[in-house]
Structure 1
Amino acid sequence: MELSHLAVPSVYILIFFLGYPSQWLLLRLEPYPLTKNELIFSNAILALILATYTRAVFVNPGSTRNDRASKQLSRIQIPPEPNPVKQDGNAKVQVTKSRKWCTKCVAPKPPRAHHCKSCGTCIPKMDHHCPWTANCVSHTTFPHFLRFLIYTTIGLGFLQKLLFTRLHHLWVHRDLPAYLGPSALLLFHTFATLAANSITLFAVGILAVRNVWCLAVNTTTIEGWEIERHRTLVRRARHFGGYLTAPDGANVRIRKQEFPYDVGIWKNIVQGMGSWNPLQWINPFAPTPSWESGLQFEVNGFEDEGTVWPPPDPDRVYRRPERAANGDAFVFEKEDLSAGDTLAAFRARQAEDAVRRRRPFVERLEENVARNEDAYEYGEIGSDAEEEEEEDAEKENYGDGQGEEGWRNSEGERLKDFGVDEDIEFYDEHEDDIPLAELLARRRAASNTASAAAYS
């Protein structure tokens, strides 16, 4: 059995340990036992915690890998996109397309969806894969997850207050004979409960505050990573006149983009909680938002129509070379290889062609400066003290040194730390990957829609 399979039972055990034995303990400690109202409140909040956690664990996070989702996505009008290749003087400029197709799910990919490595499917408005619920926090599960965090913070805070009241009483009367105080078993139980409660309250409290903030500004944890990544790219592009080089040598125009899904606090909360009724926001049995409502989202209109999120990232653009790395896959240079070794070598060349790792930006910048000393002076590029500090920090943001897919944000997190399948998510999917049958179906749907509009 994997350790991940023990996460959910462990959380249930922790809830029961902090919920029920603590009541038995507090009924036997001075200065007074729990009152009737305190007992009612404790058990009510405990029931809310159990109900919301159970829903956060067992509610389906949604998937785009089904016929209903595919039909729904095919009816969504995709905004026009900029021309993928432009000419800027003698430079070839690459404009990244939005992702519309997941090659692993073999299904359309809606905005804000990401492919979860644990769930094995694209999750609508994926926030992260939570190991403690063994489930994705997504468009459908986020309301239950947030209610669980809030009710848990309230319950743990209330228990902390009750424990501190008893500990203060013990400290004030510490000079009295030991036989007048609690037994050794009660003391051990008290301090064990205090330690477990304090650690859990600290972790859950921070997570609750963070998720409330994400709800207010309508961002997910993954999108927070993308926002920080975009700011880093904008700062990098200033060194090269607003352009960065993609793996295929094309120049990608980098300009600052505003996050499109922050549409105001009220609308953000309504969208995130799945209801405009504030009573439903705190209702542990509130209906789960439908997965259909997670296929498209309102935007704030700060950017031009057709602007996509996440913004262009030259290092996330995957382009196969004109001649594939496995072009000579069936040319046997070593005839003495066995059939198994030949197949293994072939698959290794396929893997090399599938992912071409990029060196970190700092290394490429230094090489570029050394190669173009006449055009760039390193002192000018690094003259700003703040930018120098940021570049020094970036050198530490590549955990395994594998390249740009190893980039980490200021908290040291990579995409894979949120449960995202980096092999799919770091390198953008393109329309070239969409099956011909799907493209023809979309064309027919668009034609039928245009015909219906003309007759109406």
Structure 2
Amino acid sequence: MITHPLAGPQTPGLHLLYVPSVVALITFQGYFSQYLFNTSPDLRPGPLTFRENVTFNALLLCLWWTYYKACTVDPGRFVFSPSSDKKEEDKDDQKPTQNKRFCKKCQAFKPPRAHHCRHCARCIPRMDHHCPWTNNCVSLTTFPYFLRFLLYTNIALVYLSSLLYTRISVIWSDRHLPSYLGPSLFSLISITLLCLANFGTFFALFILLVTTLKSWVMNITLIEMWELDRHNALISKISSSSSNDYWTDDFDPASLSRIEFPYDLGFFSNMSQAMGTANFLRWFLPVGGGGPKLADQKKGGLGWEYEENGFNDWEGMWPPPDMEKERRAKQGGWAYKKQGQQEMPDDYYYGGEDIKAAFERRQQEDFARRRRIQQLQGQSGVIRELEEDEDEREWTGKTGWKNSDGDRLWDYGVDEDVEDDYVARERVVGDGDDDDDDVPLAELIRRRKVLAKQEDDT
């Protein structure tokens, strides 16, 4: 069973237990603690005061409401107009090169900062990660509610810690007295369980709150942090002395330059954009705080495009392409064209027949691998290793790059099968052609019809 601090265990069916588990944990710590404090006279300093009851239950009310909003607010859904493809093509004409991504499952272009969530089964605007504990994506529209939930939860846990501390300190000071003068066994067991639950929950949620605050201030999602780590690791690998034999002859690593993260606009602008308002008095309101809305595509705006800081040569360079994935996929049909190169590589696709031939080639390679497995039936160790590898792909998708914490995009809820599907990108500015690999055949045919029509009109 594979676990991740954000995604939780990836066991089928357990996703139905995440939200009930959170509800049970809040109920246990929030209300059983009050029952214990108010009905156990042997726990000094005695029942909660009126002020303590009001404060604690007010925090619980804010916690419940913000958790409900974090679970129920729609993470956003892109609705593409018929002219959306034409608008994307017009944008490409304005920039020398652009990382334009196509989602094969949504059959549409992915706007900047969007990713296809394998749980929500759609592309999510400004996707941060899919949180199983809310059964919802943390996205453009849900981030403020998720942040408020974490904030009020941590405040409530700190307040509960103070209530527990006053009673634990009394028990510790009376530890040398006869046991019949101290709290009952039920009280001791209950307060011990509350302390353990409080410590474990606060430890996990405080780390998550700090990470979320960092994302908020820097205007960077967890997925983009992962992409930035991957890009920096690639730059380091290229600059190392051992990188000469790492790349194929069809690609010059020197042509890849560092790409700066473009969406950091300054801490106040970052925070205002994420919360949907520049009025900081509304940022932490549990009721009426609101959040940003996904703009209408026809009008353009937030969710479809994002302001950039201008540190890169041109807009639209993020995310950096996964060169490692492209290098591994080179034999499967990726095409590169260096500046000044006149002949295309042998695996470049000229039309539908070439795409069909490439598919048949990959199918034959898969058949050859299956025959190899059959030939190794007598070698149980090898077979077991191959079967475990198959199980890993079944549960976690294709093998991809991992950061220093061992995280993959899969761990954040991203569907890796449709990630980094770039189209209309030239490796070198100049006379390069578009990379059409992995673009659906219907989309390629549609493009060719558009080009043919434009040629007829001219």
The TM-score range, normalised by the shorter chain, is 0.7 to 0.9
* Structure 2: 5+ residue stretches without partners: 1-11, 296-301, 334-346, 371-391, 425-433, 452-458
Q: Which residue number corresponds to residue 202 of structure 2?
A: 201
**Pair 1:417-2:411 in alignment:** yes
Deviations 1:68-119 (A, max 9, x none): 6975994897364436xxxxxxxxxxxxx51332111012211001111111
User: Counterparts of 2:355 and 2:407 in 1: how far apart (Å)?
Assistant: 31
Q: Which amino acid aligns with 2:215?
A: C
Counterparts of 1:199 and 1:272 in 2: how far apart (Å)? 29
Alignment of 1:382-397 (within 5 A): none
Contact 1:405 1:426 in 2 (8 A): no
Over aligned residues, Cα RMSD in angstroms?
A: 3.6
Cα distance change of structure 1 residues 404 and 60 upon mapping to structure 2, 3 Å threshold: closer
Describe the shift of the 1:329–1:76 C-alpha distance in structure 2 as closer, same or farther (beyond 3 A).
closer
The answer as to 2:304 corresponding to 1:310 is: no
TM-score, structure 2 length as denominator? 0.72
Structure 1 position 34, deviation (Å):
1.4
Choose which of 27, 47, 57 in structure 1 pairs with 2:71. Answer: 57
State the secondary structure of the residue aligned to 2:123.
Answer: strand
Q: 8 Å contact 2:76–2:141 — kept in the other structure?
A: yes
Aligned partner of 1:13 among 3, 24, 30? 24
Aligned to 1:32, what secondary structure does the other structure show? coil
Equivalents in 1 of 2:358, 2:89: separation in Å?
42
Question: Does the C-alpha gap of structure 1 residues 329 and 426 become closer, same or farther in structure 2, counting only changes over 3 Å?
Answer: closer
Q: Give the aligned partner of residue 254 of structure 1.
A: 256
- What's the CA shift string for 1:206-250, capped at 9, x where partnerless? 000110011001100010011111111111111379999767833
Contact 2:308 2:315 in 1 (8 A): no
Structure 2 Cα separation of the partners of residues 40 and 126 of structure 1? 37
Structure 1 residue aligned with 2:290: 287
Partner residue, 1:327: 357
Q: 1:356 — aligned with what? A: none
Distance 2:18 2:202 in 1: 18
Kept after mapping to 1: 8 A contact 2:127/2:139: yes
Equivalenced residue count is 370
Cα distance in 2 for residues equivalent to 1:219 and 1:198: 29
The answer (yes or no) to whether the contact 1:260–1:303 under 8 Å persists in 2 is: yes
Cα distance in 1 for partners of 2:24, 2:188 equals: 21
Give the counterpart of 1:78 among 88, 91, 100. 91
1:270 maps onto 2:300 in alignment: no
* 1:256 partner letter: R
Aligned equivalent of 1:187: 188
1:51-80 per-position Cα deviation (integer Å, ceiling 9, x unaligned): 11111111111122x246975994897364
Which string of whole-angstrom CA distances, capped at 9 and with x for unpartnered residues, describes residues 226-283 of structure 1?
1111111111111379999767833352212211000000000001111111222111
State the distance in 2 between where 1:202 and 1:138 align: 24
Paired residue secondary structure (1:175):
coil
| Structure 1: gaps of 5 or more residues | 84-96, 332-343, 353-398, 444-456
Instruction: Compute the TM-score of the two structures, normalised by the length of structure 1.
Output: 0.72
Q: Percent identity?
A: 40
Q: What amino acid is the match of 2:63?
A: I
- CA separation of 1:152 and 1:429: change in aligned 2, threshold 3 A: farther
